Amino acid sequence: DVKVTQSSRYLVKRTGEKVFLECVQDMDHENMFWYRQDPGLGLRLIYFSYDVKMKEKGDIPEGYSVSREKKERFSLILESASTNQTSMYLCASRGVTGANVLTFGAGSRLTVL
Amino acid sequence: RKEVEQDPGPFNVPEGATVAFNCTYSNSASQSFFWYRQDCRKEPKLLMSVYSSGNEDGRFTAQLNRASQYISLLIRDSKLSDSATYLCVVNPYSSASKIIFGSGTRLSIRP
C-alpha cells in the first residue's frame, strides 16, 4: 500500500524557533508537495518539488523553504516560526504516470506560541 | 472569484437519504477532476476520479458538466460513516503543480 509518512503529528514551538517538518514517501514518486490547511481557506500550496533538488514556489511560500536531497524525502523548513504559521501541514506525493492522484501524509499540526 | 467553489454546508441529512453536492470551476481548460474525502483531523483521501462520461463506484456517482463547468457528487443510501468533508479537486492544465482544491463541503449523516 502506498505510503506518505510525516514524522511529527503534533508540534508546539515558540516564535522565532526554526522548525523542520519531514515527509517520506515509499512509492518512488517524482512529485512531492507541501500544503497548509486552515479553516475556511482550504488547502494552499506552499512548495512543490518535481525532482531531487528541484522545487517551485506555490501560492504562499513566504516564510518557508524546502529541501529535497533524496527522491523519497521532502522537508519543509520554517526558518523563524511566527504565530501566523500555526496550522495543519500536509505533505503529498504523486507519480508522473497514470492518474494524477495525490497521496497525503497524516498531517503535522503545528502550534507556534 | 475563486478558481474552485463549493458550498461549505453543512449538509445534515438522515441515514438512507440521497444527497448531492456540486462544485464549480472557473478554468475551462481544466482537464482532471477528483473528489477527495477528509475525515475530521485526518488527511484527505481520494474518493473517486471524475470522468467525462460520468462514473459510479457503489453508492457514489460523479459527473462532469464541461459546458457549465461543474462537477457533482451524488451519494445514495447514505450511511453514518459517510459523514465527512468532501473536497472538489481540479487540475487545470495537467500540470504537475497546479492542483486546485475547493474548501470542502461538510456532510453530516444523522441516525
Give the tens place of pLDDT for each residue, B19-66.
999 999 998 888 889 999 999 989 999 999 998 899 999 999 999 999
Instruction: Please give the pLDDT value at position A1.
Output: 67
The arithmetic mean of pLDDT across residues B97-107, rounded, is: 89
Could you give the maximum distance between any two Cα atoms of chain A, in Å?
Answer: 42
Q: For A96, which residue in chain B has the nearest alpha carbon?
A: B96
| Residue B3 distance to chain A (closest CA, Å) | 12
pLDDT value, residue B95: 66
Which residue has better confidence, B4 or A95? B4
Task: State the best of B3, B47, B87, B97 to mutate against chain A, taking most chain A CBs within 10 Å.
Answer: B97
> What letters, b where the CB count within 10 A reaches 16 and e where it falls short, cover B55-80?
eeeeebbbbbeeeeebbbbebeebee
CA–CA separation, A58 vs A35, rounded Å? 9
> Average pLDDT over chain B, rounded to whole?
92
Kindly list the residues from chain A whose CB atom is less than 8 angstroms away from the CB atom of residue B49.
99, 101
pLDDT, average across residues B71-93 = 94
Alpha carbons B61 and B94: distance in angstroms, whole number: 23
The mean pLDDT values, 10 residues at a time, for chain A of 113 residues are 87 97 94 93 92 93 97 97 97 79 94 97
Nearest-Cα distance to chain B for A42, in Å, is: 4
B25, B69 contact by CB (below 8 A): yes
Q: What is the CA A113 to chain-centroid distance, rounded?
A: 20
**B43–A105 CB contact, under 8 Å:** yes
The answer to whether the beta carbons of residues A33 and A45 sit under 8 Å apart is yes
pLDDT at A65: 97
pLDDT of residue B30: 84
Strand-pair partners of B64: B71
pLDDT of res. B91: 86
What is d(CA A99, CA B15) in angstroms, rounded to the nearest whole number? Answer: 32
Closest Cβ–Cβ partner in B43, B49, B104 for A106: B43
Cell of B33: 477532476
